[in-house]
Amino acid sequence: MLARRTNLAVVALAVMPSLTIAQRGGANSPFPGGENPDGSLKPTARLTRLFSQDAYTEYALLEPGSEQFRIRYLTEETRPGSTELVNATRGGSEGTDVEVYDPRTGKPMPFTYEIQGETHAIHAKFASPVPEGGIGRVLIYKTYKDPRTYQVYNEANAQYGIQPGDISWVRSLAGYRLGVILPKGYSFLSSSVAAQMSTLADGRIELHFANPSGLSNPLTIHARKSTAAPTPTSGYTDMFFDDVKTLYDLGAPETHTMRVEQIYSDDRKGRQLPVDLLSYAALKDAIVTDLDTAKPLATSKQGNATMVKLDVPIENDKQSAHLKVVGTLDDGYKLSNDVLTFDRTVKGLRNTVLLPAGFDVTSTSQSGTVGTYQGRVFVAFVNLNAENSYHVVITASRKK
């Protein structure tokens, strides 16, 4: 959930000599832009998405030797009028034990699992078509069996310093927000990505990480049976389960105002929830919308907090509210001698600043990607640190 992370060092686990397991979509996948006949790389398309993709995927490794892992997948359908969401099973993986839920109500959704040769796909049926201005959400659980991905080692691998019973899991992950949970009683020997790590209430250890590009990101982990008794982590949760994204849309320079739009999921229990954005951004004319229905929601004050009243209360762990907050800020940015300066502390996982028309970015104080949206330049930031707040300074110059 948004804006509730506390300090935690990001863990980069040492990489041991890897044992490659061939699989489709791995490190040898073609470059996204393709290749020229001489082997040189073609440029990819220009970046036009204001934010990285929204899906969250978690892989829980089941008993070693089973070659299975349980997937929790929270995904979206944004096309108005859509009556179903289609989720294809990766080629070579056998999907079983499928469960599909509506995140708004936490109740099972009707679905079919269609198999045509090597093509397997889940078709989740929405209770009503995706509304204009809304987003359809689906929570999917499924079990994959893939011996190429999940392996147990024996004495034949001793030359690599591996003990019998050690396990590895290797997969090319193209998702944006990801988690991998080890079997209970196992500890990490290595991981090929930098990640936040925590111990769950049942003693299992999990990696949480982001893949901001959304492109192929090969991951290899090695783990070993351990006699350690890890203590469940307290004080923070999976920082990458947080799906918050905030757009600062800078208005015409003479106004010095900006339109702010924040989209997020909130899984706190109850019918009334605080709107956290309004506690640190004094938005004028703020409107809160339920994205599951595209309908505005009533707000009220409770002390210094602004509360929103949900049509459907959150009562179980499969539920969440999907909300959009929109308003304007007067303390926007400065313009001096045709040089624009955006100087602000921002919060949450993803923040994008959309410059006014006619300006080119010249500097950013934080690492970000630059793209063009409807003829305007934007800078998109992904916060890979557990601290929720960070300071951003952007300068841009007016085109002559």
Instruction: Tell me which residue of 191, 324, 339 sits closest to 265, measured CA to CA.
Output: 324
Give CA–CA dist 126/223, Å, rounded.
Answer: 40
Cα–Cα distances in Å, from 270 out to 214, 243, 290, 291, 303? 33, 20, 15, 18, 18
Distance of CA 32 to the CA centre of its chain: 21
Beta carbons of 111 and 124 less than 8 angstroms apart: yes
The reply to whether 57 and 182 lie within a common domain is yes
| 281 in any annotated domain | yes
Domain end (from 225, 258, 283): 225
The reply to whether 105 and 212 lie within a common domain is yes
Beta carbons of 311 and 290 less than 8 angstroms apart: yes
Number of domains in the chain: 2
**What's the pTM?**
0.87
Instruction: Tell me which residue of 191, 223, 222, 218 sits closest to 207, measured CA to CA.
Output: 191
pLDDT one-digit tens code per residue, 213-255: 767 788 999 999 999 989 999 888 788 998 999 999 999 888 8
State the residue for tokens 């996948």: 29
Cα–Cα distances in Å, from 223 out to 10, 82, 148, 206? 19, 42, 16, 12
pLDDT one-digit tens code per residue, 107-116: 999 999 988 8
pLDDT at 254: 82
The reply to whether 218 and 306 lie within a common domain is no
The reply to whether 186 and 327 lie within a common domain is no
The reply to whether 151 and 122 lie within a common domain is yes
The reply to whether 142 and 200 lie within a common domain is yes
Element (H, E) at 328: strand 321-329
| 371 in any annotated domain | yes
Give CA–CA dist 90/65, Å, rounded.
Answer: 21
Give CA–CA dist 110/247, Å, rounded.
Answer: 34
Residue 59, pLDDT > 50, answer: yes
Show the domain range for 197: 11-225
pLDDT at 17: 36
Residue 385, pLDDT > 50, answer: yes
pLDDT one-digit tens code per residue, 95-134: 789 999 999 999 999 999 988 877 789 999 999 999 999 9
The reply to whether 207 and 293 lie within a common domain is no
Domain end (from 192, 225, 258): 225
The domain that holds 203 is classified in CATH as 2.60.40.1730
